Amino acid sequence: MKTFNRAFTVAVFIFLYIPMIVLAVASFNQGTDIAVWKGFTFSQYGELFRDRVLLPLLLNSVIVAVISSLVATVLGTMAALGIHSMSRRMRRVAMAVTNVPLTNPEIVTGVSLALLFAFLGQLLKIQGILGFFTLLIAHITFNLPYVILSVMPKLTQMDPDLRDAAMDLGCPPVKAFFKVVIHEIMPGIFSGALMAFTMSLDDFVISYFVYGPNFVTLPVEIYNYTKKPLQPKIYALFTLLFLAILLVMVIMNLVQARDDRRRRQGRGVFGHIRKDVRVG
């Protein structure tokens, strides 16, 4: 049974990553046909970095991703702290509401936000309301649940007596919060910020319904490229985006592994102290 499970897992990973490997190989191909290898070259990457259309759009995507992930991280952390302080029943209800946007189809979220912005535009008499700010608000909205779900486990794992102990030692409540609570949940905050950044950077469905002609992101423009034969430099762009997101995910996993290791070491030291106290 173990052999079957391992073989099945390997087959799933191969199925998931072979398209990306094919795409990366095609980005180094001298020819334009992805099925015919005509030699190795970096020229596609050179054309990409000389492109005056795609790079500004990539910058737009990065700007939206950075700002939305930072705002969502702050708001999501505050929301997680509020949910954690609720009673168990209310916390369960709040988390169920938080999970709804994750299970809701993106096209439904995109259409709903587009209708909301159109209604606000008519209410406030604003022509062409869709643009940077509507895109930013939409990205913050769908990023919030990822931050909350990343921070909540760290709040649950944290010893509730740590903050009280810091206040007993003379720390004011605000200082105790920043010295103890933030320090304990920082890996969750960092993981949530990275997750929000990656989700925002490559989002297309929701962005397609809330963007305006004055501010276009890269995924939306790439959709227009798919309506005609793709240029080889697009393969290079896809490869770089995949590597960037892969790097972010590796960093996030390393941070989580480091935090788990630190917690295990802390529990071990605490266990030895308790054992020594009992022996004494």
- Chain centroid to Cα 28, Å, comes to 29
Greatest mean pLDDT among 92-96, 136-140, 240-244, 264-268 lies in 136-140
pLDDT value at residue 66: 95
Question: Could you give the angle at the alpha carbon of 166 between the alpha carbons of 163 and 169, nearest 5°?
Answer: 150
Distances (CA, A) of 125 to 118, 119, 120, 122, 244: 10, 10, 8, 5, 41
At residue 274, φ and ψ (nearest 5 deg) are -65, -35
**Residues 106 and 205: beta-carbon distance below 8 Å:** yes
Chain position carrying tokens 């606000």: 120
Residue 270 has pLDDT above 50, yes or no: no
How many whole angstroms separate alpha carbon 113 and alpha carbon 181?
34
Closest CA to 206 of 60, 123, 104, 55: 104
What is the predicted pLDDT for the residue at 224?
77
| DSSP letter for each residue of 191-259 | HHHHHHHHHHHT--HHHHHH-BTTB--HHHHHHHHTTSPPPHHHHHHHHHHHHHHHHHHHHHHHHHHHH
Q: How many degrees, rounded to 5, is the angle at CA 273 between CA 269 and CA 278?
A: 145
Provide φ and ψ at 188, rounded to 5°.
-70, -40
What is residue 40's DSSP assignment? B
Find residue 29's DSSP bridge partners.
40
Q: Summarize the confidence of residues 147-170 as an average pLDDT.
A: 84
- Residues of the chain with pLDDT > 90: what percent? 28
* Angstrom distance (rounded) from CA 225 to CA 203: 16
Contact 170, 90 (CB under 8 A): no
Mean pLDDT of 226-234: 77
- The three-state secondary structure class of 29 is strand
Q: What is the pLDDT of residues 7-39, one digit of tens each?
A: 888 888 888 888 888 888 888 888 777 777 888
Please report the domains of the chain, with CATH numbers, ordered by start residue. 58-263 (1.10.3720.10)
Q: What is the pLDDT of residues 174-204, one digit of tens each?
A: 888 888 888 888 888 998 998 999 999 889 9
- How far apart are alpha carbons 108 and 205 in whole angstroms? 9
The whole-number pLDDT of residue 176 equals: 81
| 72-122 pLDDT per residue, tens | 999 999 999 999 988 889 999 999 888 888 888 899 999 999 999 999 999
| C-alpha span between 164 and 174 (Å, rounded) | 12
- Per-residue H/E/C for 258-274: HHHHHHHHHHHHHHHHH
Q: Which of 36, 20, 59 is nearest to 216 (CA)?
A: 59
As to burial, measured by CB atoms within 10 angstroms (0-12 exposed, 13-18 middle, 19+ buried), residue 177 is middle
